[in-house]
Amino acid sequence: MEWEMDSSVGAHDLASRLGGWSGGEGPLYRKLATALERAVADGTLAPGERLPSERALATALAVSRTTVVAAYDALRGTGLLDSRQGSGTRVSDRVRPAVPRRLRDSAGLSLYQRLLDGPGDLISLACVTTEAIPPVADIIRETAERHLADLLTESSYHPRGLPELREAVADHYTGLGLPTSPDQIVVTTGVQQAVAFVCDLYLYRGSTALIESPSFAGCLDLLRAAGADLLTVPVDEEGADVERMRRRMRERRPDLVYLMPSYQNPTGVLMSAARRRQIAELVAEYGVPLFEDGAYTGLRVPHEPPPIAAFAPPGTEVITAASVGKIAWAGLRIGWLRASAATAERISRRKAVTDLGSPLLDQAIAARLVRRWPQISAARSELLAERMALLEEGLRARLPEWRWRRPDGGAALWVQLPDGTDARVFAQVALRHGVEVVPGSVMAPCGDHDSFFRLTFSHSAETLTELVDRLARAWQDLRRHGPVEDYAPRVVV
């Protein structure tokens, strides 16, 4: 047995990689052992990698130390784990994963794992998903009845995007005060793909990206995957802190700035028009490209300020992205980005190489949705406002210790737990009560929001009522009893 590598995994990192390990029947130690076996088999844990101590992992998973001791003992008995005095417990070098390439689970991937597994009885808050609002069905039928024949004669993949959608999006931005032509638009598979293209265009190993903290974990993973170091600035009630941004840029000029000006995820803050102008002038001064993620644009405020790009001096590189997913229907994976014509051309080449182009029928539907953006946005906003009010009422009644700022928009509350409670620990207890939450540590890379978690309210009224009940029971368990104890006999093989 040779342990030449000095790789180790932190307790909270491992807890994140294990996902919803505590669901189902049976003792916790056996479920933990099974989850560790799966992590080794799929390459999430590598041969020779050192695991956390029993005490550290027990704290991260909010279980008793005997639970972790028994799980480790069981896996030592099968030869999956080895221990050596002074070197801790490691995955055995003799183990060969079923997947030859090691898969290091990222924060974003752990969020989306629930989409792959299916929710089952678990209420997952990992992703904001939106059912279709009534106008969507009518528009789909209209598109099929009146325009399908024309679409079927199309002989191009349209990597830039269906011309009528690009024209609709260009008109939409022009109406917002940002003059735009169709050649500045590239259609993407949601905003996530737009972020990936921009990362590929501007970032490389050793580059830097300036972001808000907290921010959306899925996009943070794309920035990291591109090799960028992350520089962070806080968010106040008007948006990203401009003076902190200026200091950061003086210290180290970033290669890209990534912001969410409209209903910042997860805080729900709407950036003011004055702040947008200041940021546009700042990135122009330093010559830094800016990506503004508008995935939540249009939710709950009738008259938003124009995009940051509308305030930018000529020649400033600002890329603006949005989609119909959060407004109309999560199942319609159509988004777009708006940039200079030259940048749009470079990105359209990446789109062509990646997937040749997005589905034409979906784009035709999206074009009609964009043309009716104000009405659709108002309908979604009304629905979300009702659900937010229901969730807030339940929280005030059942969990009066919790604190949050009512968001300007979006679909989530950014909740702070009292007394500095680590949301990662609460997340593990919540899992055992059937709720998957996203702790602040996943969305704030500098560790300044560890007592926060994101609480989405895009669910049905029935689900929200059940959600509050499960969260209240989980909180009661954590406050009264600490980690859930589990009888875990030592395993002798």
Q: According to the model, what pLDDT value does residue 129 have? A: 81
- 61 and 112: one domain? no
- 360 and 399: one domain? no
Q: According to the model, what pLDDT value does residue 363 have? A: 97
Residue 228: CATH number of its domain? 3.40.640.10
Distance CA 187, CA 416 (A): 37
Q: According to the model, what pLDDT value does residue 117 have? A: 57
Distance CA 352, CA 6 (A): 41
Amino acid at 8: S
- 463 and 342: one domain? no
Cα separations in angstroms, 294 against 102, 162, 195, 320: 34, 21, 11, 7
Boundary of a domain, candidates 344, 373, 402: 373
Q: According to the model, what pLDDT value does residue 99 have? A: 54
What Rg value do the Cα atoms of the chain yield, rounded? 24
> At CA 307, angle to CA 303 and CA 311, rounded to 5?
115
Q: Which residues contact 355 (CB under 8 A, 6 or more apart)?
A: 189
Give the total number of structural domains in the chain.
3
- 114 and 97: one domain? no
Does any domain span residue 5?
A: no
Tell me which residue range forms the domain holding 422.
Answer: 108-132+375-481
Distance CA 355, CA 460 (A): 34
- 127 and 155: one domain? no
Boundary of a domain, candidates 105, 121, 142: 105
Does any domain span residue 487?
A: no
Summarised one tens digit per residue, pLDDT across range 244-284 is: 999 999 999 999 999 999 999 999 999 999 999 999 999 99
Does any domain span residue 204?
A: yes
Residue that is written with structure tokens 């904001």 in the block: 128
Helix axes 54-61, 11-18, angle to 10 degrees: 50
- 267 and 124: one domain? no
- 315 and 207: one domain? yes
- 368 and 320: one domain? yes
CA atoms within 13 A on the CB side of 315: 4
Q: Which of left, alpha, beta for 36 (phi over 0: left; psi -120 to 50: alpha)?
A: alpha
Distance CA 439, CA 451 (A): 8
* Pair 64, 488: CB distance under 8 Å: yes
Which of 63, 98, 140 has its CA nearest to residue 486? 63
Summarised one tens digit per residue, pLDDT across range 429-484 is: 999 999 999 999 999 988 889 999 999 999 999 999 999 999 999 999 999 876 54
- 392 and 305: one domain? no
Does any domain span residue 45?
A: yes
Cis amide bond preceding 27, omega within 30: no
- 216 and 146: one domain? yes
Boundary of a domain, candidates 345, 373, 401: 373
The residues of the chain scoring below 70 in pLDDT are: 1-6, 97-120, 298, 482-493
Q: According to the model, what pLDDT value does residue 150 have? A: 87
- 144 and 164: one domain? yes
- 310 and 200: one domain? yes
Does any domain span residue 446?
A: yes
